[in-house]
Amino acid sequence: MSERIANELLKSKVMSADEAAQFINNGDAIGMSGFTGAGYPKALPTAIANRAKEAQSKGDEYKVDVYTGASTAPDCDGVMAEADAINYRMPYMGDPSLRKSINEGNAKYQDIHLSHSPQYIEHGFLPIDVAVIEVTRITEDGHLVPSSGVGNNVEFLDHADKIILEVNSWQSLDLEGMHDIYRIQKLPNRTPIPINQPGDRIGKTYIDIDVNKVVAVVETNSADRNSPFKAPDDVSKQIAGHFLDFLEGEVKAGRLAYDEYIMQSGVGNVPNAVMAGLLDSKFENIRAYTEVIQDGMLDLIDAGKMTVASSTSFALSPEAAEKMNEQAAHYAKHIILRPQQISNHPEVVRRMGLIATNGMIEADIYGNINSTHIAGSKVMNGIGGSGDFTRNALISSFISPSMAKGGDISAVVPFASHIDHTEHDAMVIITERGVADLRGLAPRDRVKKMIRIANPEYQPLLEEYVEAANKGSALATPHDLSQAFAFHTRFLETGSMKK
């Protein structure tokens, strides 16, 4: 048996994943570890999927509600969705099979702000039966050393009736010390979260649990899902260039200093291009208060450009994950992994005065942002933490190529077909065409900026819409509602937003 289980009581609970899955009943709500493909359970999901298939073969039902930190992986959400084992899912997902099931009207999915999701558990809005949590190791005292993500693990462990632990020996033992586990006080006696700077540590390096709730411990040795890193393409580099110009402009205006930039960054290739750009910039002592550690941040740390990155999880390429596993002790000096309630907490985010930078599907001419749905109906992933950071940032920014799908989709539309961030929240929007700085602008002045960063192929169609909208009787935020979704209905009918 693995030396990673030092507690005698929990040693006695070691069993196979199939045996452990017997503790999970049809209809149960399961709180699973996992955030952006890191730290999710590797064995139980398949065992749950097998139970579902077995039940179906007998004409019985076996479905569960699955809560996580954020997205997981094919061997977690994927296998369960393919076995039709998921009834309800929250707060975020990104798995192709699960996405398909949701958009086919099968699995139910509630897309919740990542900082709100732990509140749903703590305050009993959503019941929880079983916590299934991956850990790096279990100490003699029964304390859990988390693995590559913390997410909602603390809340799941605190509120579940039963606990199943997966001890994954693929995770580096040197992750120990990187985590900062802090519990927000219970109402009505809450006090401030004492984090003033991204690097502040306020908690313990382990999660203490009621070991008597543990019904099973399962040993695994499996890699996290790590998405390959793509080198930035030309469009991403142009967007990154505009973003850096924007930062330089803030410095020139006296609103930012070269050593004051605190970054929050969404996941993806454009954000990674921004980080690559920062390597050669004048910005120094960059800090991140964000929800995921990406390849670009490790590069910034390696180059001495970034002093500290606070997050709740990793989202690394296979190469970067390997580097992390080899040098975790080194990176622990620069990286802190917190519960997502803390990494995304409005209190701390607002205090930091950070600059939030997230991707989007589309923005409308007034700066409302769609982060989640294609043509209003089809969910892609979810809002994730983008709302937590956007609303509370000092400056909120969104970055996206001006077109997608080979030009058939415009990132600037007359009316966003799903609104995840409102005109009150988005300050700066950037495409490869330039920067639309919407701060201090009334709606009709925003339109000019937004059309300027739209792709020229769509600019005439947007101008046409605005002209028609301005003929209406109310000109505060002019819309022609009969044509507001014409881009989208055309796309659904013809496959292109172009006329």
Please report whether residue 360 would count as binding its own copies according to CB under 8 A: no
Q: Given its phi and psi angles, is residue 407 left (phi above 0), alpha (psi -120 to 50 degrees) or beta? A: left
Please report whether residue 194 would count as binding its own copies according to CB under 8 A: yes
Please report whether residue 123 would count as binding its own copies according to CB under 8 A: yes
Q: Are 400 and 450 in contact (CB under 8 A)?
A: no
Q: Given candidates 444, 452, 468, 496, which one binds its own copies under the rule CB under 8 A? A: 444
Please report whether residue 111 would count as binding its own copies according to CB under 8 A: yes
462 closest CA partner among 421, 420, 433: 433
CA distance 228 to 214: 35
Please report whether residue 159 would count as binding its own copies according to CB under 8 A: no
Helix (H) or strand (E) holding 286: strand 286-289
Query: Binding-site residue total for its own copies (CB under 8 A)?
Result: 88
CB of 65 to its own copies, least distance (A): 9
Please report whether residue 472 would count as binding its own copies according to CB under 8 A: yes
Q: Given candidates 109, 206, 246, 458, which one binds its own copies under the rule CB under 8 A? A: 109
Please report whether residue 105 would count as binding its own copies according to CB under 8 A: yes
Please report whether residue 192 would count as binding its own copies according to CB under 8 A: yes
Residue linked to tokens 């993500």 = 149
Q: Could you give the angle at the alpha carbon of 363 between the alpha carbons of 360 and 368, nearest 5°? A: 105
Catalytic residue among 291, 362, 423, 432: 291
Q: Which is nearer to its own copies, 257 or 303 (CB)?
A: 257
The token pair at 83 is 């076995």
CB of 238 to its own copies, least distance (A): 25
Please report whether residue 442 would count as binding its own copies according to CB under 8 A: yes
DSSP letters along 451-491, please?
HHHS-TTTHHHHHHHHHHHTTSS--SS---TTTTTHHHHHH
Active site residue 291: yes
CA distance 17 to 394: 46
Residues 3-42 that bind its own copies (CB under 8 A): none
Please report whether residue 139 would count as binding its own copies according to CB under 8 A: no
CB of 98 to its own copies, least distance (A): 11
Please report whether residue 473 would count as binding its own copies according to CB under 8 A: yes
Pairing of strands 369-370, 362-364: antiparallel
Please report whether residue 469 would count as binding its own copies according to CB under 8 A: yes
Q: Given candidates 17, 102, 138, 411, which one binds its own copies under the rule CB under 8 A? A: 102
Q: Given candidates 57, 104, 406, 456, which one binds its own copies under the rule CB under 8 A? A: 104
Residues 388-417 that bind its own copies (CB under 8 A): 391-392, 394, 415, 417
Q: Are 220 and 15 in contact (CB under 8 A)?
A: no
Secondary structure in 3-state letters for 349-369: HHHHCCEEEECCCEEECCCCE
Residues 222-281 that bind its own copies (CB under 8 A): 253-255, 260, 262
CA distance 318 to 494: 38
Question: Catalytic site residues?
Answer: 291
